[in-house]
């Protein structure tokens, strides 16, 4: 995934893109504009939809801002739209659906955080200009005034140079960045996220303000920080956003494990730059995630980002000039669980990512010792439903510049995957179970549910892993022999 500087966009291309997109969504924006105008209210398409229209990125989620208060907006949308939702009413937002379009209409507003509040206070504004100045970045502070019933043409409103910043791919704030980040500290995370999503450069004064005000992020809830982090990592250019978080000190507060990877290199360069290695592994895992069959995969990407976080705690220099990171996989998995819990990730996400971190070294040694079929089965069993992601992480973890070594590792892993596929076809590895289930075990041994059933099941599972498929008769015989030996 290339992260080089993207070329600027010509203003003419911006104008052509926005015209084409407004023509595409004309059925909905002209209709809703007329509905609000008939009731005496202003309405404008605003924010992300305008920015993306100028970038030639069409989508069907449309945001509007209006002079109408929420209760007035609700009356209009009840007759204009198809369904209604008002979960954002406290922030002045009412939503509806119109054919394929999802529509949200928000009253002109301003909002700010107090010094110790985790939630913004909301005050309604009186003009489009007041509403735009409170937005996070100039490229999101553009609007399109909509036509009224008298046929007034649509017009672009760009009070803060958003078109030029978009064309030159620069991220700036409408007012001072200090005021913007004071109003909502989460905008510092959003700056990194937009850099990752759009490939934009963040203006120097914005970066400076992020450095000075980084500590303000601590008043934001873990859930909101998590959501921005997920969007950043799932963006096309995550290296840009992550590097900005580290540079500004925000990473030290929201993902300190990443900053810790920038360990001081020893004077003899006896180990690679773990931080740069990690970002390269992330990019290489993105290049491989088509194997999963979908779009951006957060679990795969975050596992790549966290796979070596145990190294700073386990680094040890030896007298012979070598350096080791023994058990950094196990330590890293524990650190990953702790961080993801702090960020309020779901249990399933925590388990998936931390398991991948713990397993990411398992492959090493396969080419030297030639694993037995039993070892391959255990590899598949331990990976479980994360096997394909483990394939991706293990392949991405090769960042050597030695082409012969890289080719050898790739061929070795090709061989392992082929072997897994062969054994899977022969033995149904995806459903690794003993030949006998719990009820059969209890009947055969004449025992009740309890620890002995679990011990018997484990014995049969170890047989399955070591020897492959057994018939029920053979499994029963081996189980009875085992039971007899136990006395």
pTM of the model: 0.83
Query: Is-contact 483 456, C-beta < 8 A?
Result: yes
Read off the pLDDT of each residue in 52-67 and give the average, rounded to a whole number.
92
Q: How many domains does the chain have?
A: 4
Read off the pLDDT of each residue in 356-379 and give the average, rounded to a whole number.
82
CATH for 403: 1.10.3210
| Final residue belonging to a domain, choices 254, 286, 316 | 254
Q: Evaluate whether residue 118 is within a structural domain.
A: yes
114-123, 283-292, 413-422, 440-449 — which is least confidently predicted? 114-123
Please determine, for residue 266, whether its predicted confidence score (pLDDT) is greater than 50. Answer: no
Read off the pLDDT of each residue in 376-395 and give the average, rounded to a whole number.
91
Q: Evaluate whether residue 411 is within a structural domain.
A: yes
Q: What is the pLDDT of residue 424?
A: 77
Please determine, for residue 167, whether its predicted confidence score (pLDDT) is greater than 60. Answer: yes
pLDDT band at 87 (very low <50, low <70, confident <90, very high): confident
pLDDT band at 465 (very low <50, low <70, confident <90, very high): confident
Q: What is the pLDDT of residue 426?
A: 66
Q: Evaluate whether residue 375 is within a structural domain.
A: yes
Q: What is the pLDDT of residue 228?
A: 98
pLDDT band at 117 (very low <50, low <70, confident <90, very high): low
Read off the pLDDT of each residue in 180-185 and give the average, rounded to a whole number.
91
Same domain, 480 and 412: no
Q: Evaluate whether residue 267 is within a structural domain.
A: no
Same domain, 212 and 345: no
- Residues 189-236 have pLDDT tens digits of 999 999 999 999 999 999 999 999 999 999 999 999 999 999 999 999
Q: Evaluate whether residue 347 is within a structural domain.
A: yes
- Residues 17-38 have pLDDT tens digits of 888 999 999 999 999 999 999 9
Same domain, 277 and 248: no
Please determine, for residue 265, whether its predicted confidence score (pLDDT) is greater than 60. Answer: no
Between these two residues, 428 and 18, which has the higher pLDDT value? 18
Please determine, for residue 252, whether its predicted confidence score (pLDDT) is greater than 90. Answer: yes
Same domain, 96 and 151: yes
Same domain, 61 and 164: yes
State which of 148-152, 226-230, 476-480 shows the largest mean pLDDT. 226-230
| Final residue belonging to a domain, choices 386, 403, 431 | 431
pLDDT band at 268 (very low <50, low <70, confident <90, very high): very low
Same domain, 45 and 189: no
How far is residue 233's CA from residue 192's CA, in Å, rounded to a whole number? Answer: 10
Between these two residues, 268 and 338, which has the higher pLDDT value? 338
Same domain, 163 and 177: no
pLDDT band at 120 (very low <50, low <70, confident <90, very high): low
Distance between alpha carbon 47 and the CA centroid of its chain, in Å?
Answer: 22
Q: What is the pLDDT of residue 430?
A: 56
Same domain, 299 and 243: no
Q: Evaluate whether residue 408 is within a structural domain.
A: yes
Q: What is the pLDDT of residue 375?
A: 85
Q: Evaluate whether residue 266 is within a structural domain.
A: no
Same domain, 2 and 145: yes
Q: Evaluate whether residue 71 is within a structural domain.
A: yes
Its domain, for residue 27, covers: 1-168
**What percent of the chain has a predicted confidence (pLDDT) above 90?**
57
CATH for 233: 1.10.110.30
144-153, 193-202, 244-253, 333-342 — which is least confidently predicted? 144-153
Mean pLDDT, the chain, as a whole number?
89
178-192, 341-355, 404-418 — which is least confidently predicted? 404-418
**What percent of the chain has a predicted confidence (pLDDT) above 70?**
91
| Final residue belonging to a domain, choices 431, 448, 464 | 431
Same domain, 399 and 306: yes
**Per the structure block, which two tokens stand in for 455?**
């011990």
Read off the pLDDT of each residue in 73-85 and give the average, rounded to a whole number.
94
- Residues 293-332 have pLDDT tens digits of 888 999 999 999 999 999 999 998 888 878 888 899 999 9
How far is residue 235's CA from residue 254's CA, in Å, rounded to a whole number? Answer: 18
pLDDT band at 421 (very low <50, low <70, confident <90, very high): confident
Same domain, 300 and 160: no
Same domain, 320 and 423: yes
pLDDT band at 420 (very low <50, low <70, confident <90, very high): confident
């Amino acid at each position: 995934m290339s992260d080089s500087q993207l070329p600027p966009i010509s203003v003419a291309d911006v104008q052509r893109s926005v015209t084409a997109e407004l023509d595409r969504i004309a059925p909905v924006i002209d209709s809703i504009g007329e509905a609000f105008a008939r009731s005496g209210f202003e309405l404008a398409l605003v924010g992300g939809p305008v920015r993306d229209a100028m970038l030639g990125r069409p989508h069907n989620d449309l945001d509007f801002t209006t002079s109408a208060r929420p209760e007035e907006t609700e009356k209009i949308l009840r007759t204009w739209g198809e369904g209604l939702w008002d979960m954002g009413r406290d922030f002045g937002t009412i939503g509806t659906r119109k054919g394929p379009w999802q529509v949200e209409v928000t009253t002109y507003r301003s909002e700010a955080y107090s010094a110790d509040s985790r939630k913004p206070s909301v005050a309604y504004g009186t003009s489009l200009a007041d509403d735009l100045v409170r937005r996070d970045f100039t490229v999101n502070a553009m609007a399109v005034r909509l036509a009224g019933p008298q046929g007034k043409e649509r017009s672009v409103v760009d009070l803060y140079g958003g078109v030029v910043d978009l064309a030159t791919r620069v991220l700036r704030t409408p007012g001072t960045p200090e005021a913007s980040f004071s109003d909502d500290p989460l905008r510092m995370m959003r700056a990194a996220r937009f850099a990752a999503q759009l490939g934009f450069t963040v203006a120097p004064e914005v970066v400076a303000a992020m450095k000075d005000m980084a500590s303000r992020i601590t008043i934001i809830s873990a859930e909101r920080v998590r959501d921005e982090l997920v969007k950043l990592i799932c963006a096309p250019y995550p290296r840009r956003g992550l590097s900005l978080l580290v540079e500004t000190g925000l990473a030290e507060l929201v993902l300190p494990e990443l900053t810790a990877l920038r360990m001081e290199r020893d004077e003899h360069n006896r180990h690679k730059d773990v931080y740069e290695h990690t970002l390269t592994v992330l990019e290489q895992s993105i290049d491989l995630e088509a194997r999963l069959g979908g779009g951006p995969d957060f679990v795969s990407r975050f596992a790549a980002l966290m796979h070596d976080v145990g190294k700073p705690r386990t680094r040890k220099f030896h007298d012979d000039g070598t350096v080791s990171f023994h058990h950094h996989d196990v330590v890293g998995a524990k650190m990953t669980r702790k961080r993801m819990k702090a960020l309020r990730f779901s249990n399933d996400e925590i388990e998936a990512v931390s398991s991948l971190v713990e397993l990411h070294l398992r492959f090493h040694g396969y080419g030297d010792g030639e694993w037995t079929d039993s070892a391959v089965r255990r590899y598949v069993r331990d990976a479980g439903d994360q096997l394909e992601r483990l394939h991706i992480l293990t392949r991405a973890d090769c960042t050597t510049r030695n082409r012969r070594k890289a080719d050898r590792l790739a061929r070795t892993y090709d061989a392992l995957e082929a072997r897994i596929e062969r054994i899977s076809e022969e033995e149904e590895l995806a459903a690794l179970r003993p030949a006998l289930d719990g009820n059969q075990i209890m009947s055969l041994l004449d025992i009740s549910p309890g620890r002995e059933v679990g011990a018997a099941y484990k014995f049969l599972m170890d047989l399955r892993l070591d020897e492959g498929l057994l018939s029920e008769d053979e499994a029963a015989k081996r189980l009875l022999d085992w039971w007899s030996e136990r006395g």
